[in-house]
Chain A
Amino acid sequence: MNHKDSIGIFFYNLPVTLPDPINYQELISYVASISENAKIWQYADFPWNEVTIRKKIETHKLTRVIIVGPLPGTVKGLFSKAMAMEGEDPKSVMLVSFNQYGVWSGKESERAKALLLCAIRDIPFEIAAKPDDASVNPATLIIGAGIAGIQAALEIAGSNNLVYLLEKTGTIGGKMATFDKTFPTLDCAACILTPKMVDVNQHPNIRLMTYCEVQEVTGEAGDFSVRVLQKARKVNVTTCIGCGTCAEKCPAMTPSEFDAGTTMRKAIYMPFPQAVPNKYMVDAESCIYLKNGKCKACVKACPVPDCINLDEQDKDVVLNVGNIIVATGYKTFEAGKMEQYGYGKFPNVLNALEFERLLNASGPTGGNIHYRSKDKKGNWVFTTESEKPEKIAIIHCVGSRDKNYNKYCSRVCCMYSLKFAHLILDKIPEAEVYEYFIDMRSFGKGYEEFYERIREEGVSMIRGKTAKVEEKNGKLLIRGEDILNSTLIENSVDMVILSTGLEPAEDNKKISGMLGIPTTECGWLEEANYNTDPTGTFKGGIMLAGTCQGPKDIPDSVAQGSAAAARVIQSILRGKVSKDISGLSLHDIEKHIEALAPVI
């Protein structure tokens, strides 16, 4: 540290109304106590502009500037420019970002002080605030068995360590299992995923726990104790032979979750034919016996004695693990919220997951695109008996980039919409496909080329989101503006697909509270550092993977799954795991800095 430095500390404390605001006076007196040659200003002291800031730098001969506040980056440009104009190094403007390091209120004043101390001593906070290590239990818990969780589980299990793979539903595979093809390679999703699912099932190091939910997490990094609710499947997983006789006899019907409600399933069911574990289970909510106490048709039909036990109860299981990977995934935007598109009102306005099932060979129509039509009982169903649509419109950004719903971009919709267009033309070559988009976001490797390919296939790309979908003469009338042409276009189509965006899973809040990981404003789980530590969290021993952290596509989810696994394997190999940074007191950090000062 150069003692000749003249440091200017600018508190960028805009007036806010919070129940427990950051106490800036306390921070200012702390700064004064540790550094005599620091000049301190607050936002309210003088109007911040280039002229006034240049004047401060000039009169006080400032050689370093530190901007402190919840979001100091917003004014950094102003200071860098002022420094450069005064002939100082514009790079010597440092930021102390409270938001980045988890200082939200007066409660975290210790952390705020530590950040200030590091900035004044010019030592990176990450180096000074290294938490102590704890010895680690080599078992790992992965919450969520979608593609990210499966990938992480296989990586860790491959390093000969024990993994508990927890899944809320009755099968692993997550959303990817419902997809037909993946973009931009147009690989068959099931062909990539099912071998991995089978691997998971057969791996000796993976303890698969489906139909389970985390109830409580105690302990700290290296030694967590996790209470898990094992929901009753009411079918013995070890003895069930998956013959399906029970489902044949079961009289209770309910929409299939796996088929996004496009087909019906029984109350005793296997989520889908390739489900892992490939066993049946009972949906307690639709089972007639569990409601009325009468039926047991499945028990009578089952060829294996004592396999089905409808009176089986949920039970608690306690797991002891050293690391936890959260891979709880996402849910899709409820298209019915945007009334103007008529989802739920017009049977042939579909959301993305429904259409994904319609395209899928294991879906309701065996992979052929047909209208939803009325069956004999008057229910709207997909059957191969109805006609094929000739004109299909795909509306992008449904529930995304919209301040009324979700303001962020869901990242995957543009690409899966293009994939839809391709698959429609693949199955109905004479079809007309219209993509109504705002901006085309084809940002990944091979994505732009994919976009070009789809355009060459003859898909009409219309820049301009549609305003509404109406029914007219049995067709769906779409009104939108063609922005590039400045014309109003009314398009009469047979089927409308809404490219519904991604939203944080309903359990994100619960998980966030249970594990002590903050969520972003939009509800995604907050990573430790978006750029440099996208899989880590503020809590030691807890990692994120996949869409629970933010919208992402399959390649990115897989990559993050592997990255989180690498972090876990590293800690197991070292035999130690970093504890929480929150466990460090200001005194600890001060001691670290003293020790580091001669080195830096």
Chain B
Amino acid sequence: MSVRLNPDLRNELVQYGIGDWNACYHCGTCTAICPLSEEGFLFPRKKIRLMQMGLESQLESSVEPWLCYYCGDCTNTCPRDANPGELMMSLRRYLTSIYDWTGLSKKFYTSEVWELAWILFFAAMVVISFLVILPSFGYLYTSELTAEGGVKVNSFAPISIVEAFDWSMAFLVASLLISNILRMYYKIIWKNSSTKVSLWVHIREFWLLMFNFAVQPKFSKCDDKRYWLSHWFLMSGYTIMFIVIVVFLPWFQTEKILPIWDPQRLLGYYATFGLLFGLFVAIIGRFKKTDVKFRFSHISDWLFLIMLTLTVITGILIHLFRINGLPMATYISYIAHMAVLVPMILIEVPFSKWSHLAYRPFAVYFTQLKKNAVPK
């Protein structure tokens, strides 16, 4: 069976941050130096070849870009300055846009204006909701304080409404992400006409998905373990925060000022610390550019970091203003918090950088399925 070439593909890929796609002369150094490349799933060189040849269908069904955790050894040893590490990063962006059936991901990755416009649109919607829609239902800003001297948050951001909104946003994002994962599954596993994977293997290997989601063991195989740690703090902090604000909002958004050792506060502080630590490492890294993994920044990388940082900072401010009884400041920070958080979740999670939270563990799972595939 012959495969169709798409010579325009590489020009298209340049928009995702791929630099000199033609520099590679296939010496194989990158594959051999990579601590994660393994038999049957060789990268980066093989993927670069697919890209140079414009073998679109093979590139789309590649799982390997997700198995790379960007230690940068390949880029450091590449004799051609072909930058295989960043090529793999760019392929992840490309694949994200391929899995996404709405076509929005491609728009967000290839047009900065488009991405910024949507972020601003969602932010504006949030601000309008707080300033116009909620007050019209009688939820107004009040300078009254609770008996303990805390701010009455529920008077302008009622838990029931915020919770319903959180759930619907989570539902929307999850359905988009799940449908994309199904497309990923279709491209990587289902479409392969020569092999099949039994249902039992699907069930047996499912634990890998959970395990990889929770600890990213592959990441820890990269040479510099510090990045695995800072990423794990960021990931765990984010996951905790996400669960408490979606599932346990009534428990988390309280007006009562709880003692400092209360699990609610401790969990919140841990999550904040985890997020800040991870963000600090990433932002400093991207400024210093000493490590390869942070040397090249696509606009989507910066937007993600900036939005998450703003979310965390506004979150901290809400907490501080609330317990110190500063109603106006709390109110403004709450709106600002939501105005960053909402566009970040709606754009980053299903369509952009943050979708890796699902694609990466699924890729490990799919890899395991492929390893257990039997010829039809």
Do B25 and A439 have beta carbons less than 8 Å apart? yes
CB nearest neighbor in A for B74? A467
Which of A402, A468, A481, A486 has its CB near the most chain B CB atoms (within 10 A)?
A: A481
- B286: Cβ under 8 A from any A Cβ: no
What chain B residues lie within 8 Å of A479 (beta carbons)?
A: 32-33
- B135: Cβ under 8 A from any A Cβ: no
* C-alpha spacing A403/B30, complex, angstroms: 14
What chain A residues lie within 8 Å of B80 (beta carbons)?
A: 402-403
- B39: Cβ under 8 A from any A Cβ: yes
What chain B residues lie within 8 Å of A438 (beta carbons)?
A: 25-27
The answer to whether A483 and B32 touch (CB under 8 A), given A340-B77, A488-B37, A488-B42, is no
Do A464 and B77 have beta carbons less than 8 Å apart? no
CB nearest neighbor in A for B45? A481
* C-alpha spacing A402/B27, complex, angstroms: 10
Count of chain A residues with a beta carbon within 8 Å of a chain B beta carbon: 23
What chain B residues lie within 8 Å of A403 (beta carbons)?
A: 78-81
CB nearest neighbor in A for B39? A488
Question: How far apart are A39's CB and chain B's nearest CB, in angstroms?
Answer: 34
Which of B28, B37, B42, B80 has its CB near the most chain A CB atoms (within 10 A)?
A: B28
Chain B, interface size: which category?
20 to 34
- A539: Cβ under 8 A from any B Cβ: no
What chain A residues lie within 8 Å of B37 (beta carbons)?
A: 488
- B38: Cβ under 8 A from any A Cβ: yes
Do B42 and A467 have beta carbons less than 8 Å apart? no
Report B39-67 CB contacts with A as 1/0, cut-off 8 Å: 10010011000000000000000000000
Question: How far apart are B153's CB and chain A's nearest CB, in angstroms?
Answer: 57
Do A397 and B33 have beta carbons less than 8 Å apart? no
Do B31 and A488 have beta carbons less than 8 Å apart? yes
Do A467 and B29 have beta carbons less than 8 Å apart? yes
CB nearest neighbor in A for B26? A483
Which of A340, A482, A486 is within 8 Å of B33, CB to CB? Answer: A340
Question: How far apart are A395's CB and chain B's nearest CB, in angstroms?
Answer: 11
What chain B residues lie within 8 Å of A465 (beta carbons)?
A: 27-29, 79
What chain B residues lie within 8 Å of A404 (beta carbons)?
A: 77, 79, 81
* C-alpha spacing A155/B121, complex, angstroms: 83
The answer to whether A488 and B32 touch (CB under 8 A), given A401-B79, A404-B79, A483-B45, is yes
* C-alpha spacing A465/B356, complex, angstroms: 32
Q: Inter-chain contact count A-B, CB under 8 Å?
A: 65
What chain A residues lie within 8 Å of B26 (beta carbons)?
A: 438, 464, 483
What chain B residues lie within 8 Å of A402 (beta carbons)?
A: 79-80
Question: How far apart are B49's CB and chain A's nearest CB, in angstroms?
Answer: 9
What chain A residues lie within 8 Å of B42 (beta carbons)?
A: 481, 486-488
* C-alpha spacing A401/B81, complex, angstroms: 11
Question: How far apart are B273's CB and chain A's nearest CB, in angstroms?
Answer: 37
* C-alpha spacing A483/B26, complex, angstroms: 7
Question: How far apart are B83's CB and chain A's nearest CB, in angstroms?
Answer: 11
Question: How far apart are B122's CB and chain A's nearest CB, in angstroms?
Answer: 39
* C-alpha spacing A465/B77, complex, angstroms: 11
What chain B residues lie within 8 Å of A405 (beta carbons)?
A: 79
- A466: Cβ under 8 A from any B Cβ: yes
Residues 333-376 of A at the B interface (beta carbon under 8 Å): 340
Question: How far apart are A337's CB and chain B's nearest CB, in angstroms?
Answer: 12
- A322: Cβ under 8 A from any B Cβ: no
CB nearest neighbor in B for A480? B32
What chain B residues lie within 8 Å of A463 (beta carbons)?
A: 28
What chain A residues lie within 8 Å of B25 (beta carbons)?
A: 401, 438-439
Do B77 and A467 have beta carbons less than 8 Å apart? yes
CB nearest neighbor in A for B37? A488
* C-alpha spacing A463/B45, complex, angstroms: 13
Do A464 and B33 have beta carbons less than 8 Å apart? no
Question: How far apart are B194's CB and chain A's nearest CB, in angstroms?
Answer: 17
Do A481 and B79 have beta carbons less than 8 Å apart? no
What chain A residues lie within 8 Å of B29 (beta carbons)?
A: 465-467, 481
CB nearest neighbor in B for A405? B79
What chain A residues lie within 8 Å of B45 (beta carbons)?
A: 481, 483
* C-alpha spacing A405/B79, complex, angstroms: 8
Question: How far apart are B166's CB and chain A's nearest CB, in angstroms?
Answer: 47
Report B298-323 CB contacts with A as 1/0, cut-off 8 Å: 00000000000000000000000000
Do B81 and A481 have beta carbons less than 8 Å apart? no
Residues 569-600 of A at the B interface (beta carbon under 8 Å): none
What chain B residues lie within 8 Å of A439 (beta carbons)?
A: 25
* C-alpha spacing A482/B39, complex, angstroms: 11
Which of B28, B38, B81 is within 8 Å of A483, CB to CB? Answer: B28
CB nearest neighbor in A for B79? A402
Report A386-414 CB contacts with B as 1/0, cut-off 8 Å: 00000000000100011111000000000
* C-alpha spacing A465/B33, complex, angstroms: 11
What chain A residues lie within 8 Å of B77 (beta carbons)?
A: 340, 404, 467
* C-alpha spacing A466/B30, complex, angstroms: 9
Question: How far apart are B376's CB and chain A's nearest CB, in angstroms?
Answer: 22
* C-alpha spacing A403/B32, complex, angstroms: 18
Known interface pairs A403-B78, A483-B27; 6 further A-B residue pairs with C-beta atoms within 8 A, sorted by A's residue number: A397-B79, A463-B28, A464-B26, A465-B27, A465-B29, A486-B46
Interface pairs (18), CB distance under 8 Å: A340-B33, A340-B77, A397-B27, A401-B25, A401-B79, A404-B81, A438-B25, A438-B27, A439-B25, A463-B28, A464-B32, A479-B32, A479-B33, A481-B29, A481-B31, A483-B26, A486-B46, A487-B42
- A-B CB proximity, top 10 nearest: A481-B28, A467-B32, A402-B79, A464-B28, A467-B33, A465-B27, A481-B31, A438-B27, A403-B81, A480-B32
Binding site for B on A (CB under 8 A): 340, 397, 401-405, 438-439, 463-468, 479-483, 486-488
Binding site for A on B (CB under 8 A): 25-33, 37-39, 42, 45-46, 77-81
